[in-house]
């Protein structure tokens, strides 16, 4: 199926088939699309938690206001954004560039100085806002890749952040759960799959200049 067919078929699943699990290689393909997502300066200010055990999904059910997706999905992805750009994080980032591109880390000093100076002028709320925007780019990649792999999804923001962070042992002083994504195969009982997709017509959405 081409990408427009895949996106037309895609909808936010309300109930998955709990008996069907995503094959491991397909899951890894989808996750790789998240790893390859565009990221400002390549900094990737987020972590991607992949919840696959039934036990952990059951623990997370009370954290969601509409838990039907969590109780039936194959996997749950939790995108966690950084609240700050610490010196140790930036050091690790530039050391990694040096390793991958086989350049002396000293050659990156001007770039590093520019990045460090930029973040030193930012407030914590600004950094978090930026990091969450980066996480949503990952979310879009994951949903798109899943659609191409014929895997269904449902992005979710309706959750108790504090409870998820407690269950997943996330340091809420330095990180924040931004958004989650349930993946799996739609249940035939989910009536939403038969509804026509409603989107703005082109003339109301696009403005050509």
Query: What's the confidence (pLDDT) of residue 148?
Result: 97
Tens digits of per-residue pLDDT, 102-120?
Answer: 999 999 999 999 999 999 9
Tens digits of per-residue pLDDT, 152-199?
Answer: 999 999 999 999 999 999 999 999 999 999 999 999 999 999 999 999
Angstrom CA distances, 200 to 144, 162, 205, stand at: 20, 35, 6
- Give me 143's structure tokens: 């949903």
Structural domains of the chain, with CATH: 3-87+124-205 (3.40.109.10)
Question: Going by C-beta distance under 8 Å and a sequence separation of 6 or more, which residues neighbour residue 139?
Answer: 79, 155, 179, 181
Query: What's the confidence (pLDDT) of residue 42?
Result: 95
């Amino acid at each position: 199926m081409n990408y427009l067919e895949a996106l037309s078929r895609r909808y936010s699943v309300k109930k998955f088939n709990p008996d069907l699990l995503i094959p491991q290689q397909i899951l890894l393909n989808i996750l790789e699309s998240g790893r390859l997502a565009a990221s400002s300066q390549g900094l990737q200010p987020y972590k991607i938690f992949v919840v696959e055990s039934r036990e952990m999904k059951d623990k997370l059910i009370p954290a969601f206001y509409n838990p039907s997706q969590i109780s039936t999905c194959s996997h749950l992805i939790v995108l966690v954004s950084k609240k700050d750009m610490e010196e140790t994080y930036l050091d690790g980032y530039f050391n990694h560039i040096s390793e991958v591109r086989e350049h002396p880390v000293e050659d990156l000093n001007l770039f590093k100085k520019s990045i460090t100076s930029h973040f030193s002028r930012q407030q914590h709320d600004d950094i978090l806002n930026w990091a969450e925007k980066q996480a949503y780019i990952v979310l879009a990649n994951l949903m798109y890749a899943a659609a191409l792999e014929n895997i269904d999804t449902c992005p979710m923001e309706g959750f108790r952040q504090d409870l998820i962070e407690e269950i997943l042992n996330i340091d809420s002083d330095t990180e924040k759960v931004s958004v989650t994504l349930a993946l799996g195969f739609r249940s035939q009982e989910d009536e939403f799959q038969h509804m026509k997709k409603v989107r703005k017509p082109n003339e109301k959405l696009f403005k050509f200049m």
